[in-house]
Amino acid sequence: MDKFVILGATSEIAQQVQRILTSKGKRLLLVGRSAEKLEIVAADLRVRGATEVITFKADLADVSQHSQVMGFVLQRFPDFECVLLAYGTMQDQEECRHSVEMSLQEWQSNFVSAAGLLTLFADILETRRCGCIAAITSVAGDRGRSSNYVYGAAKGALSLFLQGLRGRLHESSVRVLTIKPGPVRTPMTAGLRQDRVFADPVSVARDICRALENDSKEILYTPWYWRYVMAVVKLIPEVVFKRLSI
């Protein structure tokens, strides 16, 4: 794959992925909600020798802007081969538990808009019968925890959506890659106590790029041990799990 569309290109994890892709000579279309941040990210990639970097500003949580995003992609980057969805939000989860408005915002940015956008990309790639759709969800979507189930519900829904999409696109040879990081040291988690369990975004990005290159990879846990941690977590009986304050 040579041409990548990155949705949420100013994310720390996405920026690290973009640096690796740039070092491999890949071409990038970066989409983000801040024109200023996008220009800083694009300039950094150009200094690193990027072959091609195009930017487009859009508030991706706003579904009414999606047709403009697709219009730009089809006009300026029509032969893209891969789309990586990286944007997301994690507001104060304690506050979200008591606020319908904040919860709706979390679901809009982490699931509703993401599923909407990927539906548009899926239709294009399905017609072409090739390409890859990759999206960053989270281990938080594997099991509802009392401390972050508002965010987790959106990520869980996104993982389920991707699973179904994979089944739909299998016949068309379009790959769907679900990316499930554990906690990572990025601006999103800056307000949390970032202990040793938090991974380095550079190593997470390396895992993501390896998975993008591996045609048979469908679900990536990163770092790798989260696959086993979550397998155990999912086995804990509900009667016990509900008593754990995690």
Positions in the binding site for ligand NAP (CB under 6 A): 8, 10-13, 32-34, 37, 59-61, 86-89, 109, 136, 138, 181, 183-184, 186-189
| Least distance between ligand NAP and beta carbon 242 (Å) | 23
Cis peptide bond upstream of 223, omega within 30: yes
Write b or e for each residue in 130-168: b if 16 or more Cβ atoms lie within 10 A of its Cβ, otherwise e.
ebbbbbbbbbbbbbebeebbbbbbbbbbbbebbeebbee
Q: Which is nearer to ligand NAP, 11 or 18 (CB)?
A: 11
| Least distance between ligand NAP and beta carbon 198 (Å) | 7
The tokens describing 240, both together, are 């016990």
Q: Which is nearer to ligand NAP, 20 or 172 (CB)?
A: 20
The Cβ of residue 242 has, within 10 Å, a number of other Cβ atoms equal to 11
Q: Which is nearer to ligand NAP, 58 or 124 (CB)?
A: 58
Helix (H, G, I), strand (E, B) or coil at 174: coil
Q: Which is nearer to ligand NAP, 136 or 177 (CB)?
A: 136
| Least distance between ligand NAP and beta carbon 232 (Å) | 18
Radius of gyration of the chain (CA): 18
Among all residues, whose Cβ is closest to ligand NAP? Answer: 88
| Least distance between ligand NAP and beta carbon 154 (Å) | 9
In the chain, how many H helices and how many E strands? 10, 7
Q: Which is nearer to ligand NAP, 188 or 229 (CB)?
A: 188
The label of the residue with tokens 């029509």 reads: 78
| Least distance between ligand NAP and beta carbon 237 (Å) | 25
